[in-house]
Amino acid sequence: MAEAFSAYHENLFQWIWEQVEFDCGGLQTDCGKSIAIGDVGKLNHGAGPDFLQARVFIDGLEWFGAVEIHKSSDDWFRHNHHLDPNFNNVILHVVYSDEEKRRAVTEAGSAIYTLTLKHRLHKSLQNLLEIKQSKQLPCGGHVSFINQNAFEKQIRIAHNHYFEYKVKELLNGYPAEKPLSVAWKWCLLTQIFSTLGIPGNREPMQQLCKLLPKSGVAVLSFAECIKEAGALAFEGSTLNWVYAGMRPASRPEKRVQQAAAICHSLLNLPLGEFFQSPEESWGKIVQGIPKQYRAGKGREQLLFTTNFLPALYLLGDLLHHDALSKSAKQYWMEGRQFVPHEIKKPFQQAGFRLGANAGKLGLAHQFKRFCSERNCHRCEVFKSAIRS
């Protein structure tokens, strides 16, 4: 992928504190006082300090209270914690680096001891944290040992996680005010329109999908449906279409026709038809569409895998039809999917053997939402690497 990786999130440093992934021998505050950790505290998922009910010993004196975690000491002031009384009970400010040398102060006026972890981390973890922006995987070439078993386990986790992610996407667009049979079809269509908008027209395609129900498209003929979608999309439309860099097959006019064709076919298919095997019910949607309005084999496969299978799972869940949900999930987990070369390449360069994972969309999810977003602390490869 051409886009660079983002910097590490603060929750990685929270994980380092929570798991005590640093050398605890001879800990000292930045002002030279000894520290011993009795209890790192409980991670706070609400507002306020990161960890509550912590217990630490500073120069032999026992302290109870909260711990706040930051990448740098100056973040305390950038986040305005010095003005927030919710942080008055913080007993220790834990930071990755303290280049600014600014000691945290509470709203009540108390100075807080600072513990800096940068030179306390194990070398493999330190190397990973020092990578700023790179097109490589965070762990690629920066650890002494890559565990292939951990990698394969992580891709299985990511593959399952991606399915759950797609189901949640559908739920987020579920129009609960409509009857189930109608609501389910339209939340699926929203995702289909979005996918047909790749690479640059996801948003206008989603907006177009929202306009269609108001036009009475469900009762139109096939030709009328295609015409109505085109009119809504381009005649006096406020939709902002992207044309620059688009290949002929991805141009908005073509994608709108393809989306409208699927919309008409799906809306006119009785709900009972979706209780067959996934490939059979999907086949009934696309096989009746004239060739000139078909999206192409690769794009249709993407629609089937990333939109239709999660939607079938959701339908089974909504109707308590376990067999339907199970068949959709099984097809996702066991089926082979198309994964672009640009997704595979970084893993291959890092030294991983892809094997069966080369045909799993969990690989793409791993790249986008674990590696690129620096969610390393949730990754089995990362944990294996820093502890090997």
Q: Give the pLDDT of residue 4.
A: 39
Phi, psi of 168 (to 5 degrees): -65, -35
**What residues contact residue 147 under an 8 Å CB cut-off, 6+ apart?**
381, 384, 385, 388
- pLDDT, tens digit, 9 for 90 and up, residues 300-348: 999 999 999 999 999 999 999 999 999 999 999 988 888 888 888 888 8
Phi, psi of 55 (to 5 degrees): -135, 120
**What residues contact residue 128 under an 8 Å CB cut-off, 6+ apart?**
138, 139, 142, 143, 376, 382, 385, 386
- pLDDT, tens digit, 9 for 90 and up, residues 251-282: 999 999 999 999 999 999 999 999 999 999 99
Cis peptide before 346 (omega within 30 of 0): no
Tell me the C-alpha to C-alpha distance, in Å, between residue 154 and each of 41, 43, 381: 28, 24, 7
Pairing between β-strand 61-72 and β-strand 90-97 as defined by DSSP bridges: parallel
The whole-angstrom separation of Cα 349 and Cα 133 is 17
End-to-end CA distance of the chain: 29
Check if the beta carbon of residue 212 is closer than 8 Å to that of residue 231: no
The whole-angstrom separation of Cα 43 and Cα 223 is 57
Burial environment of residue 165 by CB neighbours within 10 A (0 to 12, 13 to 18, 19 or more) = middle
The pTM score is 0.72
- pLDDT, tens digit, 9 for 90 and up, residues 112-148: 999 999 888 877 677 666 654 455 676 665 544 567 8
In the chain, what percentage of residues exceed pLDDT 90? Answer: 58
Strand positions, DSSP E, the chain: 35-39, 42-43, 51-58, 61-72, 90-97, 113-116
